[in-house]
A and B are shown apart, each in its own frame.
Chain A
Amino acid sequence: MEQFGYENSQPNLDAVFAALADPTRRAILSRLADGQASVNEIAAPFEISQPAVSKHLKVLERAGLIERDIEEQRRPARLKAETMTAAVSWLEEFRKFWGTSFDQLDDVLTQMKIEPKEPDNE
């Protein structure tokens, strides 16, 4: 069951969220979701230079959102799923905190209408 909880040994979520706050970097991640790609291949659909793409890749790499192959000459970048999952689940936890609590409040209010004064203490 999913819980509102904190696990240890997490990636640095501050860096992850800072990296994700940029639309170009999110687009690069989307591109990489289709599979690994070189800087050339990533730069192609964007109206930005390769050095600019390289800079974005560095930010993403530092945040742990991607990793790059050092063996191959073209150094293809690929997405690191774990980091992405950690960031998305943190967002989800925050959203869930009040959202789910309010769903539960709905249930409590329904119970209160049935048993108007002294609620049953289970």
Chain B
Amino acid sequence: MSDLPEYILDREFDAPRDMVWRAWTDPELLSRWYGPGVETVIHKFDLKPGGVWLNEMKWGENSMLSKMVFKDVTPPEQIVWDHYSSTDSEWNSIKNPKMPDWPAVLLTTVTFEEAGAKTRVRLSQIPVDATDAEKACFAQMMEGMSKGWGSGYAILDEMFAEMQVK
């Protein structure tokens, strides 16, 4: 399989590029926004090729560990890392307990582009060294996202509406 499934997220931020770069690369600032609605603890952050970012997300009694290994750091334009989305307590990559075919490693590229006083950020994630099953799993997720599987929601909505009528 030559063309790998890719997740892309584009976003423009109303701040100059140096400031956006700082928000991504200063662990104190990064921990304030990274992770949706969770408490983020950055255990290690060594911003250079080969350096690691050891991340913990906490919510309630739960904790989830992940590891990022930087591959390219080009201030203030680009950061590239291998993203290990689940690790054990020793920071060794593990399979996702809920989705065994979820790719263990995603090559993550973040680029920062000046747009006047604003900054355009593009995030891209591609499975690395993935098995065919993992690629297929990621591709299906991406397909689901781009089509919204709106159908997914639509089906649920219809179903719940139906259940209330009965």
Find out whether the CB atom of A98 lies under 8 angstroms from the CB atom of B101. no
Identify the closest chain B residue to A11 (Cβ). Answer: B98
Indicate the size class of the contact surface on chain A: 35 or more
Could you count the A-B residue pairs with CB atoms below 8 Å apart for me: how many are there? 136
Find out whether the CB atom of A3 lies under 8 angstroms from the CB atom of B59. yes
Find out whether the CB atom of B98 lies under 8 angstroms from the CB atom of A6. yes
Q: How many whole Å from A95's CB to the nearest CB in chain B?
A: 6
Identify the closest chain A residue to B34 (Cβ). Answer: A101
Q: How many whole Å from A15's CB to the nearest CB in chain B?
A: 10
A-side interface mostly: helix
Identify the closest chain A residue to B36 (Cβ). Answer: A100
Partner of A14, one of B32, B36, B137, B149: B137
Complexed CA–CA distance, A75 and B101 (Å): 32
Find out whether the CB atom of B37 lies under 8 angstroms from the CB atom of A4. yes
Find out whether the CB atom of A3 lies under 8 angstroms from the CB atom of B37. yes
Q: Report if B115 contacts A (CB, 8 A).
A: no
Complexed CA–CA distance, A14 and B103 (Å): 12
B97: chain A residues within 8 A (beta carbon): 6, 8
Name the 9 nearest CB pairs between A and B, nearest first. A100-B36, A104-B33, A33-B158, A109-B15, A105-B33, A17-B140, A88-B152, A33-B159, A14-B101
Task: Please report A residues at the B interface, Cβ cutoff 8 Å.
Answer: 1-8, 10, 13-14, 17-18, 20-21, 26, 29-30, 33-35, 79, 81, 84-85, 87-88, 90-91, 94-102, 104-109, 112-113, 119, 121
